[in-house]
Amino acid sequence: MPESVAIVGAGVAGAAAAIRLAEQGVEVDLYEAVPEPRPIGAGLLLQPTGQRVQAAMGLLNEALALGTRVDRLFGDTPTGRTVLDMSYRRLRADAYGLGIQRGALMGLLWSRVQALGIRWQRGVAVDGFTQDAASVTLQLSGGTSARHAALIVANGSFSRLREGLRVAQHARPFPWGAVWTVLPAPEGFPQIELRQRFRAASQMLGLMPVGKSSHDDRARGINLFWSLPVVELDSWASRIGLAALKQQMTELFPDVAPLLAGLRDPAQLREARYADVWMRRWHDGRVLAIGDCAHGMSPQLGQGANMALIDAHELAAELRGRDRGWPAVFEGYTRRRRAHIRFYGQASRGLTPMFQSHAVVAPWLRDRFFGWGGRLPYIHQQSIATLAGYKTGWLWGRLKL
C-alpha cells in the first residue's frame, strides 16, 4: 500500500503543510508544475496567529530578521477623513503584524522543505486524480501516474484540481484586482506602517514596509499596491501608461512621490487577481483542499498567507497522536477549521465592495462610520481581533492555536 501523501502546489499552504507533516514523520511528495519556482505575489502581512505557526515551525526569528514590525494600520481619504485607525496594542500589548516580502517567506519555507529531505517534484504538473478506498492516483503531465495514500490540493484560488472533489463549491473571480511592486525606500523616506489612501472605492493605494528580500539585502523594501478593475489589468500599460498611472497615485497621495521615483518600468508592476472560493466542506475521502484553493478571498483583510499557515498547523494538530486513516483525519480537519474559515470568507465578501468597486453608497457609509465606530473600545477590539486572524464568529469565538 502507498504510504506517502501527495501535496500539489509549493506555495505557502503547500510548503507549510509538507513541513508540518514531515515533522511528524509523514512521508511527503510535494508536486510543483513550475520547473524553477519563484515567489509570485505582493508583500505579506503576517498576523499574530500566523506568527504563532511560524514559531511552532522554528522560523519566526528568521522571519523577524527579514521583515518589519507593523504596529498600526491607518487609512484615510484625500480630504483627511480617517477611515481606518487600528492598533495591534489594543488587542494585546505585545501584538503586532509582520510585513515581509513573499520571496523572503518562501525562501524560509523552501529551505526547510529541502532540509527535511522532502521529495520535491519540480516541473511535474498534476492534471487530475482518481481515488478508491485505499489510495489516490495522480495523472501527471506526460501521461504518467503516481499512487499515494492521500492528496492535499494547495495550488491556489484558480485550481482546476479542486473541481475533482465531489463537494459543492464555487470560485467567483472578483471584478477588481491590483498591480503591485516592492520598491526600495529612498533616503529620508519616513518609517511608515501599513498606510492606505482611498477615494470612494474606485481608487485605493496601499503602502506597507516589508523589510529585506534576503539576509544579504541592505535595502528597506516598501510594498506598493494600486487597485484596478480586472478588465484594465492587461491593458493599463498601453492604455494609461506608467507616467499617467504614477500621476494618479501622486494626486491621490502626494507623500508617495519620492517612493515612485524608483518605479521606472511598467514591468516592475505585477498583476494580482483574486477569487471568492467557497466549498461546503474541504475534504472528499482521501483528498483535502487547503489554502487559497479551499477559501480564496480578496486581500482586504490581509489573511491569505496567514490562513494558509493556520491550515497547515491545524492539519498537523488533527493528525498528531491519532491512529486513524486519512479520510477520518481530513474530516476532523474540516470540523476544526469550519468556523474560522466561514467567518473570514463572509467578512471578505462583505467588505470588498466598500474598498474595491464602483459603488457609491458602500464607500460613503464606510467613510462616515468606520472611523467613528473604531473609536468605540468594543468595536476597535473586535476589528483588531479580525485583522489579527483570531475571530471565528461575528459575535463571539476566538481561534485557539
DSSP codes, 79-118 = T--EEEEEEGGGT-TT--EEEE-HHHHHHHHHHHHHHTT-
Residues in the chain: 401
* Amino acid 41: pLDDT: 62
Separation of alpha carbons 394 and 351, rounded Å: 14
DSSP E strands, 162-307: 169-173, 176-184, 194-199, 203-211, 221-229, 270-272, 275-279, 283-284, 287-289
Q: How far is CA 305 from CA 46, 53, 253, 309, 390, in A?
A: 7, 11, 28, 6, 14
Amino acid in position 49: T
**What is the per-residue pLDDT across 322-380, written as a single tens digit (0 to 9) for each?**
678 999 999 999 999 999 999 999 999 999 999 999 999 999 999 888 877 777 888 88
**What is the per-residue pLDDT across 211-240, written as a single tens digit (0 to 9) for each?**
998 888 878 899 999 999 999 998 999 999
Separation of alpha carbons 153 and 287, rounded Å: 7
Query: pLDDT tens per residue, the chain (401 residues)?
Result: 578 999 999 999 999 999 999 999 999 999 999 998 876 667 899 999 999 999 999 999 999 999 999 999 999 999 999 999 999 998 889 999 999 999 999 999 999 999 999 999 999 999 999 999 999 999 999 899 999 999 999 999 999 999 999 999 999 999 999 999 999 999 888 888 999 999 999 999 999 999 998 888 878 899 999 999 999 998 999 999 999 999 999 999 999 999 999 999 999 999 999 999 999 999 999 999 999 999 999 998 889 999 999 999 999 999 986 678 999 999 999 999 999 999 999 999 999 999 999 999 999 999 888 877 777 888 888 999 999 999 999 988 999 98
* Amino acid 338: pLDDT: 98
Separation of alpha carbons 211 and 220, rounded Å: 5
Could you give the maximum distance between any two Cα atoms of the chain, in Å?
A: 66
- Domain residue spans in the chain? 5-74+94-173+274-387, 176-272
Q: What's the distance, Cα to Cα, between the start and end of the chain in Å? A: 33
* Amino acid 38: pLDDT: 76
Give 248's contacts (C-beta < 8 A, 6+ positions apart).
203, 240
Handedness of CA 152, 140, 121, 3 (dihedral sign): positive
* Amino acid 214: pLDDT: 83
Domain 5-74+94-173+274-387 has CATH 2.120.10.30: no
Q: What are the counts of helices (DSSP H) followed by strands (DSSP E) for the chain?
A: 13, 21
**3-state class of 153 per DSSP?**
strand
* Amino acid 370: pLDDT: 84
Helix (H) or strand (E) holding 251: helix 242-252
* Amino acid 322: pLDDT: 66
Separation of alpha carbons 271 and 19, rounded Å: 29
